[in-house]
Structure 1
Amino acid sequence: MATLWVLWSERNNRLFEGRSNSPYYLYIKVVVLSISWARAMPMFKFISAFDLWAGWKVVCNSHVSVPRISQQWVKPPVGFSKLNFDGSSLGNPGPAGIGGVLRNSEGEVVKAFSGPLGVADSTEAELRAAYQGFLVLGRERLAHSLVEGDSVNVIRWLKGSVSPPWRFLRIFDEIKDLSVGCSVDFLHVRRSANDIADRLAKEGVVNQSLELFDYLPP
């Protein structure tokens, strides 16, 4: 089903928009979509996106449950970059910060960021972190990217699966504007796979201003 959907979308892109994607990108798109659908099934709901990514062919052909395994960050496929973002709020609402890191397929840091928001709740902090992440993606002009966050709701909103609450519509629309022309797939991950972005967000709470790095700050 995922393959048919991706091929249909690609056909429409070529026919009506005059643009096309590489076969390798289409393959990755099928895998990501299959993982998203698999995680909606009861037998796979406790399996991380990382575990499904690592053995998706076996899992998708399985008829038995698979033990839960701790998740960790994994490099994106060749030709892709990966953005991890997170927001932190001390008090919810309270003093808040954002953080994120963009890495290439070798796991090398392309750009990292950390900065304060003032007073905000955790959901707004997550969205602000995603916004800053897309600013970074736009500046780096990367072809294909995976975007990971540990907020289920924010990832659902970014995917378009569910509409965000009205109070977040403005920042959400700003993120959508930044994503125009970007080839991006969104994945929800556990905090253990988002630990660097989480640390940068917590450090951002006490920073004086937004900081951008070409390396991972100690």
Structure 2
Amino acid sequence: MPVNGRGWVQSSSSSGFEETWKQPSEGWWKINLDGASKGNPRPSGVRFIVRDWKGDVVALDAQKLNPGTNNIVEASVALIAIRFCRKIGVIKLHLEGDSLIIIQTIMKGTIKAWHLQNSILSIVEELNNFEDFRVSHIRRTGNVEADILSKWALTFNEIGELRFEDLRHINIEF
């Protein structure tokens, strides 16, 4: 199930991958996401940050999940984040993650790993419901906030989540 020719963003960097985070275009919202797993399969944590076209953080989520592999965790956070954005009314979405395997699989619609098939098909189906969308890869160095906080989610005592509302009085500096 291809993504209707929409969505792929070519990098402006010489390496072919974005090195730093860039603000989304006017009218667009950007999700930066990351998943972390302490082995394959082991306890997992996921994290996403949603920013508007001004670069302001409008939502974030950190969750500890049941044990899973790195790729399953990365696909899970993409689906969780996309569904969250649809729920809050986003119509133009830029999804950016540091898992090259997951990003390329979403864009190509060719799923070689059978265990990812349902997740990737669901991601593509959800993306095609947006007015417009983009999907791009970013190096971990440009995805630092999501990377650090997905690992932080691994420290949660129970499977569950932490939302933006819970962090209003916490100052986290990167």
Relative to the length of structure 1, the TM-score reads 0.67
Task: Report what 1:159 is aligned to.
Answer: 107
Find the aligned partners of 1:193 and 1:162 in 2 and give their Cα distance.
26
Shift of 1:161: 5.2
Amino acid at match of 2:127: S
Q: Does the 8 Å contact 1:149/1:187 carry over to 2?
A: yes
What is the SS of the residue equivalent to 2:66?
strand
Q: Aligned residue for 1:186?
A: 135
- Selected match of 1:134 from 63, 66, 82: 82
Structure possessing the higher relative contact order (Cα contacts under 8 Å, 6 or more residues apart): 2
Equivalent residue, structure 2, for 1:48: 17
1:76 maps to 2:45: no
Gaps of 5+ in 1: 1-8, 11-28, 50-70
Give the partner amino acid of 1:213: F
Q: Does 1:92 align with 2:40?
A: yes
Deviation at 1:124, TM superposition (A): 0.8
Q: Where is the helix percentage greater, Structure 1 or Structure 2?
A: 1
Counterpart of 1:162, as a letter, is T
Establish whether residue 105 from structure 1 lines up as the match of residue 56 from structure 2.
no
* Structure 1: distance between partners of 2:24 and 2:39: 34
**2:55 paired with 1:114:** no
Contact (CA 8 Å) 1:111, 1:136: kept in 2 or not? no
Q: Which runs of 4+ in 1 moved over 6 A?
A: none
Percentage of matched positions with identical amino acids: 23
Query: Does structure 2 conserve the Cα–Cα contact (< 8 Å) formed by 1:115 and 1:203?
Result: no
Q: In the aligned structure 1, how far is the partner of 2:122 from the partner of 2:110?
A: 17
1:198 to 130, 147, 150: 147
8 Å CA contact 1:146–1:185 kept in 2: the answer is: yes
Residue 5 of structure 1 is matched in structure 2 by none
Amino acid at match of 1:94: R
> Structure 2: any 5+ residue segments left out of the alignment?
none
Using the TM superposition, give the Cα deviation of residue 179 of structure 1 relative to its aligned residue in structure 2, in angstroms: 2.2
Measure how far apart 1:141 and its partner are: 1.3
Count of residues in Structure 1 that have an aligned counterpart in Structure 2 = 162
RMSD over aligned Cα atoms: 2.4
- Given the two structures, how large is their TM-score scaled by the length of structure 2? 0.82
Contact 2:111 2:120 in 1 (8 A): no
Listed one character per residue, the Cα deviations across residues 94-134 of structure 1 (whole Å, up to 9, x for unaligned) are 11111110001111111101011121111111011101111
Q: What is the DSSP-based 3-state SS (H/G/I as helix, E as strand, rest coil) of the residue aligned with 2:122?
A: helix
Q: Which is richer in strand?
A: 2
Q: Is the contact made by 1:88 and 1:205 (CA closer than 8 Å) also made in structure 2?
A: yes
